[in-house]
Amino acid sequence: MRLPVDWSAEEAAGRPPSVDEVTFRSLYRKSQYTVETADGWSLVITRYRPVPQAFHQPVYMEPLLVVHGFSQNRHCWTSGEFVKNLLFFGADIHILELRGHGKSSVALQRELARSSGREPPPDLDYGWDLDTYFLYDLPAAVSAVKRVTRRSRIFYCGHSMGGMLGYGYAGIHDDFEGLITIGAACDVGRGFPSLRALALFTPLLMLMADGALGAVNLKRRAWHAGQRLLSAGRARLRRAERGGERGAAAPTFARFDAVPVDSLLKLLERAMARAEDHRLYGRLAERMSWLSNPTRVEREAIRWLLRHGGEPEPRRVIEQFARWIRRNEMVCYRTGYDFKGGFSKLRVPMAIFFGDMDPLATVESTRRVYRSAQSDYLLWRPVKGNSHIELTMGHDIRQVCYDIKNLIEYARSHRLHTPSLPRIR
């Protein structure tokens, strides 16, 4: 097997290289920039800007905004070779991390608020939902990519939840020159009875969780009150000696604001690490196969993603997903906008990818957007042997990226309205 090299002009004169023969690092210049949302969040976008190569790059400098899915971060795109394959074609890749995910963390908001003297965002403690992503994060990111690249329209690629947000956004905005979704259902839960059952019982489960935490908090409150009574005399004496009356510190109470998906994934990764013999790993892999097919992705890549690619997700996001599933709808509840009602307005070139083993995004759960869209270029394709996770990082990513390249090339050669070209000053 030939080792990756930096492809020189002399070598390129003979024959063009394959993506395996080019080092990843030679393909890009990496940077990041911050996006301010209308409701006060600072989101981070990581940019992989393509470096000109001696070989042909058919989509050179075409801006592509990519958005991760539920509880994920930028690593869903970078843990495999998704970014490398598209950089090989010359795409200008901008990876958004939604609020509370990756570099757009809660900790970053607190740090920026402290350094600037401003108040942190009001929903900082995981108080946002799907509507927030749709109404604030996505519009801010799209505007920022357009501004940074000096384009009037850009390409968009979303995985899972990121693709669902893309469906809704493209139905009411004219910012996209092409829309790609990967593992993104439009009829969430269709053909997946277990998920529908979970959504049906979500309100009860949330109520039970609140009840359990309420009992814990009641015990803490009682314990704190008892401690105050037992130490009242000595506390008063000490406060008097210090010359002031100060109340006892308030107890801390448990709150259920978010599901710790990151912690659950790390537990799974540690279980995989302990499964040293092949048979045990095989049994564990079978348990995981409803979201990932271990035969289509490297074991170490999955373990790395489990360690670094998960984030807590607000309960309000989960509750909204459950409501969508129960009611068979995709609605922005704050504005009343129906995502599905906008499918017939989709006219940009589209590619809809899903794994033929993926229970979340299937033929049944993606059919409606395919049949409703009015795009002249419309690709609706299952990826054989794939489930949900490996669609952005597995063995078949090269074919997915090749199809994305084809869509961008088509749009580039069929621009009928304002060209998505740099403005000349």
374 token code pair: 């009015």
Residue 26 belongs to a domain = yes
- Dist. CA 69–CA 165, nearest whole Å: 10
Residue 324 belongs to a domain = no
Residue 283 belongs to a domain = no
Residue 142 belongs to a domain = yes
Q: What integer pLDDT is reported at residue 206 of this predicted model? A: 86
Q: What integer pLDDT is reported at residue 228 of this predicted model? A: 61
Q: What integer pLDDT is reported at residue 3 of this predicted model? A: 39
For residue 25, the tally of other CB atoms under 10 A from its CB is: 11
- Dist. CA 24–CA 5, nearest whole Å: 9
Give tens-digit pLDDT for 79-109. 999 999 999 999 999 999 999 999 999 999 9
Residue 418 belongs to a domain = no
Residue 336's CATH number: 3.40.50.1820
Spans in the chain with pLDDT lower than 70: 1-14, 213-255, 275-290, 416-425
Please tell me the pTM assigned to this model.
Answer: 0.86
Q: What integer pLDDT is reported at residue 419 of this predicted model? A: 46
Name the phi and psi angles at 298, rounded to 5.
-70, 140
Residue 383 belongs to a domain = yes
Give tens-digit pLDDT for 243-284. 544 555 555 655 678 989 999 989 888 877 776 555 555 555
Residue 200 belongs to a domain = no
Residue 27 belongs to a domain = yes
Q: How many domains, in total, are found in the chain?
A: 1
Domain that holds residue 104: 18-193+331-413
